[in-house]
Amino acid sequence: MSTLGLLRTLFNPKIVTPNAIQLQSLNRSPFLVGLFFNHEQVRTMSRVKRRTTHPPYWHVLKNNQRQDEKISSDNLRFVREVIQDKYKNKSPIKGSDLDIEKKEWDPKTKRSGVIARNIGVQHMWEKDGKKVVCTVLHVLDNHVIRYVPPEEYAKSIIGAKVFRNRKPLGCLVVGAEAANPDRFTRQYCSLFNEVGLLPKKRLARFIVTPNAVLPPCTPLTAGHFVVGQAVDVYGKTIDYGFQGVVKRWGFKGGPASHGATKFHRRGGTIGTGRDKARVWPGQKMPGHMGSERRFCRGLKIVRINMKYNVIYVKGTVPGPTNSIVQIFDTVLPRRKFTEAPPHPTYFPPEDGTLPQEDIWDSSLHVFGSPSISV
């Protein structure tokens, strides 16, 4: 290896991946390359496709083509009744069934998550009068569809990537929003045959430790979470479409007046003439903005309504109103659980007593209580 190369490896201890681009400036002296003028910009995301309009190739074809079946309204009603009878949406699983195999909770347990719909934003107030913007999340009719044990999951395409250098965990497939089987293909409906539930519009995978496994057909409700805990919410951001450089990247554009000719919201220069003599990959330009999967971490749950299965979370969540999100226990180390949560999930009490309908966090002002006097 040349001295130049040796010096570069000594002063630039970066792992070179195929996607990374390293700029080796030949104009500068070798001693200074790594120390002060670090021209190496690792652009690992420049070649990665951020969104697709089609599902992964291993997914089953989901939606049926709409067929104009000319059946009378009476027959249609009969068909619906048959579907209702065949697929009872009520789960036969009760808490007592799980007592036999109930496993202990420990701080390293990963519980299942839940699929919910972001139904809007509501303003609430804390006990000192400070306003708090809360997102309202409606936990849909979640049921566990399938459990994939760790060994099997580690062999799958995604599982192999996720657990490449660590101990594999299991995967719970959870479905939400039951719908008429007519709108789905036969292959998609067959995914739910074992469970005996109406096919679900939404499916999601949650990584769980083996001690938090839930049997198929278990319902997941808002009671799965505890008021005061922190959660991570994962969703697809608002789709802004094709956007210019000012909105997409926050460029300043050009002057609105003072003789500026056709230069108000443009990007300006896209590179120098000297280094590399081309446009670098990752150059910020107009393009599609939004509709990307993002996490909002560490959001606190301030209120749970058990009757309507609704969670109020402090802060905002990725995505527009009425979009689907996934909620999990937080990953942030200082906001994790110190005491055992409902493990592996919440079950209503056996003796038929209803749980408290509306549970509020202690910091919030309850609307029915007297006005705050400071």
How many CB atoms are located within 10 Å of the residue 261 CB? 6
Q: Does 314 bind another protein (CB under 8 A)?
A: no
Our CB check for another protein shows the closer of 312 and 347 to be 312
Q: Which stretch binds another protein (CB under 8 A): 5-13, 205-213, 303-311, 347-355?
A: 303-311
Q: Which stretch binds another protein (CB under 8 A): 69-77, 114-122, 191-199, 348-356?
A: 114-122
Q: Which of 66, 123, 161, 164 binds another protein (CB under 8 A)?
A: 123
Q: Does 122 bind another protein (CB under 8 A)?
A: yes
Work out how close the CB of 132 gets to another protein at its nearest, in angstroms, rounded to a whole number: 11
Q: Does 124 bind another protein (CB under 8 A)?
A: yes
DSSP 55-79: --TTSPP-BPPP------HHHHHHH
Q: Are 226 and 206 in contact (CB under 8 A)?
A: no
d(CA 123, CA 110): 31
Which residues inside 318-347 make contact with another protein, applying CB under 8 A?
320-322
d(CA 152, CA 191): 17
Q: How many residues bind another protein (CB under 8 A)?
A: 25
Binding mask 51-90 for another protein (x = CB under 8 A): ----------------------------------------
d(CA 364, CA 122): 13
d(CA 344, CA 242): 43
Q: Does 368 bind another protein (CB under 8 A)?
A: yes
d(CA 294, CA 50): 11
Q: Does 356 bind another protein (CB under 8 A)?
A: no
Our CB check for another protein shows the closer of 181 and 290 to be 290
Q: Which of 70, 90, 131, 161 binds another protein (CB under 8 A)?
A: 131
Q: Does 311 bind another protein (CB under 8 A)?
A: no
d(CA 60, CA 356): 41
b/e map 227-245, b = 16+ CB within 10 Å: bebbbbbbbbbeeeeeebb
Q: Does 241 bind another protein (CB under 8 A)?
A: no
- Those residues whose C-beta lies under 8 Å from the C-beta of residue 204, and which sit 6 or more positions away, are 113, 115, 173, 174, 175, 176, 326
Work out how close the CB of 50 gets to another protein at its nearest, in angstroms, rounded to a whole number: 24
3-state secondary structure of 167: coil
Our CB check for another protein shows the closer of 98 and 324 to be 324
Work out how close the CB of 118 gets to another protein at its nearest, in angstroms, rounded to a whole number: 9
Tokens representing residue 41 in the block = 């910009």
Q: Does 369 bind another protein (CB under 8 A)?
A: yes
- The amino acid at residue 323 is S
Q: Does 138 bind another protein (CB under 8 A)?
A: yes
Q: Interface with another protein by CB under 8 A: which residues?
A: 119-120, 122-125, 129, 131, 136, 138, 305, 308, 310, 320-322, 365, 367-374
